[in-house]
Amino acid sequence: MSKTEYNVDLCIIGAGAGGLSIASGAAQLGRSVVLYEAEAMGGDCLNYGCVPSKALIAAAKHAHAFSTGEPFGIASVQPKIDFQAVKAHVKGVIETIAPVDSQERFEGLGCTVIREMASFKDANIVQSATTITRAKRIIIATGSRASAPPIAGLKETPFTTNEEIFTIDDLPKHLLIIGSGPIGLELGQAFNRLGSKVEIIDIAHPLDRSEPEHAKVLIDALKHEGVIFHAPVNTKLVRKTKAGVAVDLEDGTVLTGSHLLVAAGRRPVIENLNLEAAGVTTGRGGIVTDKYLRTSNKRVYAVGDVSGRGGLTHIAGHHAGVIIKNFYFVPFFKASAETNNMPAAVYTQPELASIGLTEKSARGQYSDIKPVHFDFSENDRAIAERSTKGGVKIIAQGNGRIVGASIVGEGAGELIHIISLAMANKMKIIHLTKMISPYPTRSEAVKRAASSWYTESVFSPKTRKLAALMARFH
């Protein structure tokens, strides 16, 4: 049986966040596009990651509210959890968003969507079971998936990852989690709030790349809710038991639980692509790319998780923008995928959001670093809502250039947008002081933190004397 042949402008392997954004942009610009996807349209984010986790977190937040109303004069009650209904809610959210990423939508845009596994035949040709595609440019956007750390006994022990956790039959009675990164913390808090006993294990301190004082606020909040941490500690052995699983720690502690969630890293999906035939070089983090996302094969590009440049959905979206700009708009002034202004957020409660450098990293690069702070305990909206944990921290150089920021507290993932906008447009800290925030809002904390940069100079003895002098003329 002969294969169907295509000759197009753009061939994309992978229909996740990066691949879909590029396919949409290129198709709407009139380019011919072949898009391959062997699994679910929408990739990890829609089906196993960002979307279902936030839906689960939302359900857990409602459950938690039942027991936290006393400061407002509302009696605490024990919520009744219908886990099957919770799963139906998660599934419903996915199904609501899915049409935006669907095969039908992209075919409507003009893309040829092929639901088969694709691989390189040679440096210029991509093939699948029934097709052969030649393209002017080829995009690899196959993403990443959960990886299992090399722990003794893990391969022989039943465990789940984020790809299965949202479809397990019953609510875990006792959930053990290996990994205290964003996935482990978010799902750990969510299941704890839904009624599971949760213990989190990690070889390192939780959130050890974040501002330490802000990481402490988040971890202390989870501990207060009942999440138990074992970190830093080495895991010696994982094994199956009659009741579920057991984790033996090197300090002699033995943990037993009903379920085990492994959230200890991800690996790029590059197997089965036959990259050797395409002359595409790979490294430890995935496919090796230059700052324009081009691989060692000048015809082939890689975006998102598989490019080894960070495992966030919005990074893939940023890469898609770079690709579309460079292919079709600014070929002589190319946009770079490299940036120090990439925000990130952990969607626990409180949330933790960051962008750019930490204070420690900034001091390692610059000699004139000045951090400024403002706590939510002094923010009127936070006080009214009795949610005063955390605050805003902005790191800038002596000339006011912002090089990083961290926010921990309610809505931190939304508030970081303000600083992201400033950094993206090369605004200095003084520009944050000029915005007018509606009162009372949490966003005032960003302005107040920025304003504190000038406290010493504005209220110095010299300015006091100037004010006294000016007062004589009024």
Q: Which fold has domain 344-458?
A: Enolase-like; domain 1 (3.30.390)
Does 154-264 carry CATH code 3.40.640.10? no
CATH number listed for the domain at residues 4-41+102-146+267-328: 3.50.50.60
Q: 349 vs 173, 265, 371, 393, 409, CA distance in Å?
A: 22, 22, 24, 18, 7
Query: Residue 456: its pLDDT value, please?
Result: 73
Is the bond into 182 cis (omega within 30 degrees of 0)?
no
Where are the domain boundaries for CATH 3.50.50.60 in the chain?
Answer: 4-41+102-146+267-328, 154-264
Task: Kindly state the helix (H) or strand (E) to which residue 289 belongs, with its residue range.
Answer: none
Predicted pLDDT at 311: 84
- 265-284: pLDDT as tens digits: 899 999 999 999 999 999 98
Contacts of 189 (CB under 8 A, 6+ apart): 57, 60, 198, 222, 225, 227, 348, 349
Q: What is the pLDDT of residue 284?
A: 87
Cα separation of 406 and 444, whole Å?
15
- Please tell me the distance from the alpha carbon of residue 82 to that of residue 170, in angstroms, as a whole number: 10
Q: pLDDT value at position 466?
A: 65
pTM for this model (two decimals)? 0.94
Residue stretches of the chain with pLDDT short of 70: 331, 457-460, 463-464, 466-467, 469, 474
Instruction: Tell me the per-residue pLDDT of 47-102, one tens digit each, with 9 for 90 and over.
Output: 999 999 999 999 999 999 999 999 999 999 999 999 999 999 999 999 999 999 99
Cβ count within 10 A of residue 33: 25
The CATH 3.30.390.30 portion of the chain extends over 344-458
CA distance 186 to 180: 9
